[in-house]
Amino acid sequence: MTTPLRVAMIGTGFMGRMHAHAWRTAHRFFDLPRTPELTLLVGRDPQRTAAAATAFGFDASADDWRRAVERYDIDIVDICTPGDTHAEIALAALAAGKHVLCEKPLANDVAEADLMVAAAERAHARGVVSMCGFSYRRTPALSLARRLVEQGRIGEVRHVRAQYLQDWLSDPDAPFTWRLDKTRAGSGTLGDIGAHSIDTAQWLTGDDIVGVSAMMRTFVPTRPVLEEQVGLGGRAQADAPRRSVTVDDAAAFTARFAGGAMGVFEATRLATGHRNSNRIEINGDRGSIAFDFRAMNELEFYDATDPAGEQGFRRIQANEPEHPYADAWWPAGHGLGYEHLFTHQVVDLVRAIAGGEAVSPTFADAARVQRVLAAVEQSAARDSIHVTVEGETA
């Protein structure tokens, strides 16, 4: 029997449901030094939270996140809430000696992120672990891509191009959500999905973005408010009031990496026909890698050292036992899904808590993404003038 790792999770929405699944699943497929126990679920509405706790498999529920920090029998606090609450919860949890998993982006601004990094570093000295949830790092095909880049298989990196395209806001009458409120979300498309592209690019290349030139747009300035959001009773949604959108619908920027590579990034929630298209390609002087999450079990690899008559992108099915994470799951050829990324995240985090491996991404890693987000916003506000990322030299 392993020592239990008692989990308190804050947030009952889409991401909370995904994290709960991961906590329930990880130790059933991977050998872990500690066994996660779903101890407490926290949400704003007591009845809904109690129902979610039963559905997710938690022992108990509460409607105040402070209960998770105060209880002596909680080992880790998992933060799946809007960005405006990340800093307050994480700071309190770390001060109380709890390990912390915090969803991305780390915070709503650089100042908050820096406070969280400092607290994480103080806590680390006491053996407390903190991680930011950039889950795409745990895709086996992308982990393989990082391995190939680290091995020098594509040589010196010259180009990075990344797109994250969604269309769930392409309808101008799609309803208002908290993700469209800057005070809660920090930013819109840029921080929600663009942050994934930034983290993936810096993680794959092992290189930081040091300068950007950007533009951002809010194509739909107002959105209807759902009935339950304003207590409209039987009033038809067509007659519902509209609320101002205070974040971006789309962002695009070029980037300069510290090692000299060029980057081109695009993120939007209005790319009609793209439900969730997350793609990245990296070109070096000896080869290239390309990944598209719509085919998440595949990696495209081009080796420029092949004989001229044999050159071309080849498709690698990243589900062999030799590929990252794959040996714990199904026989070769049986692919994984979106939910597995979060299970892998739990696996890596639990092993880091037990001291078996270094945690990644750290809060410091996530803060570097936060600085790029801030630079993109500054550049867009200055009409695409080049902006140096804070703390870096362009």
Q: For 163-217, how does the pLDDT look when each residue is reduced to its tens digit (9 = 90+)?
A: 999 999 999 999 999 999 999 999 999 999 999 999 999 999 999 999 999 999 9
Do 89 and 149 belong together in one domain?
A: no
Do 128 and 221 belong together in one domain?
A: no
Angstrom distance (rounded) from CA 278 to CA 372: 19
Overall number of domains in the chain: 2
Paired tokens of 222:
């107002």
89 part of a folded domain? yes
Domain stops at, among 99, 117, 136: 136
Strand partners, 289: 282, 301
Do 183 and 275 belong together in one domain?
A: yes
Do 164 and 313 belong together in one domain?
A: yes
What values do phi and psi take at 110, rounded to 5? Answer: -65, -40
- For residue 156, the one-letter residue type is E
Q: What is the CATH number of the domain that holds 223?
A: 3.30.360.10
309 part of a folded domain? yes
pLDDT at 280 over 90: yes
Q: Residue 291 belongs to what H/E stretch?
A: strand 287-292
pLDDT at 237 over 80: no
Domain stops at, among 112, 136, 160: 136
212 close to 192: Cβ distance less than 8 angstroms: no
> Is the link from the previous residue into 172 a cis peptide, with omega within 30 of 0?
no
Do 368 and 247 belong together in one domain?
A: yes
Q: Residue 40 belongs to what H/E stretch?
A: strand 34-42
Q: What is the CATH number of the domain that holds 43?
A: 3.40.50.720
394 part of a folded domain? no
pLDDT of residue 231: 44
Do 146 and 190 belong together in one domain?
A: yes
Which range, of 31-40, 144-153, 220-229, averages the lowest pLDDT? 220-229
> What stretches of 320-382 adopt beta strand conformation (E)?
none
Domain stops at, among 136, 157, 180: 136
pLDDT at 94 over 60: yes
Do 208 and 296 belong together in one domain?
A: yes
pLDDT of residue 238: 62
pLDDT of residue 232: 40
Residue keyed to tokens 């889409």: 14
Kindly report the pTM of this predicted structure: 0.95
Do 185 and 305 belong together in one domain?
A: yes
Q: Which domain holds residue 152?
A: 139-388
393 part of a folded domain? no
Angstrom distance (rounded) from CA 338 to CA 103: 16
Do 229 and 147 belong together in one domain?
A: yes
295 part of a folded domain? yes
DSSP notation for 47-65: HHHHHHHHHHT-SEEES-T
* Closest listed residue to residue 50, CA positions, set 32, 63, 31: 63
pLDDT of residue 2: 82
Average pLDDT over residues 22-34: 97
88 part of a folded domain? yes
Angstrom distance (rounded) from CA 94 to CA 116: 9
Do 114 and 165 belong together in one domain?
A: no
The set of residues, in sequence order, having a beta carbon less than 8 Å from that of 111 and lying 6+ positions away, is: none
Q: What percent of the chain has pLDDT over 90?
A: 92
25-30-31-37 Cα dihedral, nearest 10 degrees:
-10
Query: What is the band of 3 on the pLDDT scale with cuts at 50, 70, 90?
Result: very high
Average pLDDT over residues 5-12: 98
pLDDT of residue 236: 38
46 part of a folded domain? yes
Paired tokens of 3:
């020592």
349 close to 131: Cβ distance less than 8 angstroms: yes
The set of residues, in sequence order, having a beta carbon less than 8 Å from that of 62 and lying 6+ positions away, is: 40, 41, 42, 49, 68
Paired tokens of 156:
């010196």
271 close to 191: Cβ distance less than 8 angstroms: no
The full length of the chain comes to 394
Do 241 and 326 belong together in one domain?
A: yes
Neighbours of 155 (CB within 10 A): 15
9 part of a folded domain? yes
Which comes out higher in pLDDT, residue 164 or 233? Answer: 164
Do 59 and 166 belong together in one domain?
A: no
